[in-house]
Amino acid sequence: MALFGNIFRKKSKAVIDINTLPVHIAIIPDGNGRWAKRRGLPRNAGHREGSNTLKTIVKYCAKLGIKYMTVFTFSTENWKRPKSEVDGLMSLLKEFLKNAEHELSGSNVRIKVIGDVSVLSEELQREISRVEKLTEKNTGLLLNIALNYGGRDEIVFAVKQIGKEIAEGKLKLSDIDSKLISERLYTCGIPDPDLIIRTSGEKRSSNFLLWQSAYSEYWYTNVLWPDFKPDDLKEAIRDYQLRNRRFGGI
């Protein structure tokens, strides 16, 4: 039954309040490899199915009226994986970007890639620039694709930017505060995530949005990412809406 456990899940009866939706949902889409292994398939088959899930969830979030969504697609640590898997992931990401306007047509989604893209192939960098330019005037959901992203690296990037501006006389040491640091992160101008979802039963932040997640609500599920459905998202949002966010207060 382990193989088919997710297939026969009951349809969610979660009722969500459309007036109190999280503004920004971030997702750590874990479990592609395990999904494939359970089916005797190569890991890249799981990544492809995970890519299909991403398209479904992005369109559903856009339909709901979610303003921001950030998805962790490739971390700075993922380079340690076998070359064949890395190559497969990069190929899928390029394919996703290349077909985004068709796959997400009618969803009014704007796409932004966050992370250090300078080490990616020139072809992938061109595709990133193309799709960002193509969707920049869309006014619906902003989809942040975290690619070659690491939370610690992002903070180091911000510190270097601030250090450079101090050296150039553009800033003073006394100018540094949390607002300034936030403005030097990859996510500048984007509100911190209200809700962070992690699939597959893992319960780690995995170096994802370390600064931004200071007061985020986490929601975990044992569902593997390729099996994650809009009903699962509704369960996460409903659980979020039942929580009392105090931000350090009473």
Q: Tell me which residue of 95, 60, 4 sits closest to 237, measured CA to CA.
A: 60
> Distance (Å, rounded) from C-alpha 8 to C-alpha 63?
25
Torsion of CA 227, 231, 234, 235, to 10 degrees: -70
Residues 6+ apart with CB under 8 A from 7: 227
Q: Tell me which residue of 35, 16, 1, 8 sits closest to 236, measured CA to CA.
A: 16
Identify the bridge partners of residue 142 per DSSP, sorted by sequence position: 68, 110
> Distance (Å, rounded) from C-alpha 105 to C-alpha 95?
15
Q: Which residues are identified as catalytic?
A: 30, 78
Tokens 């619906």, located at residue: 140
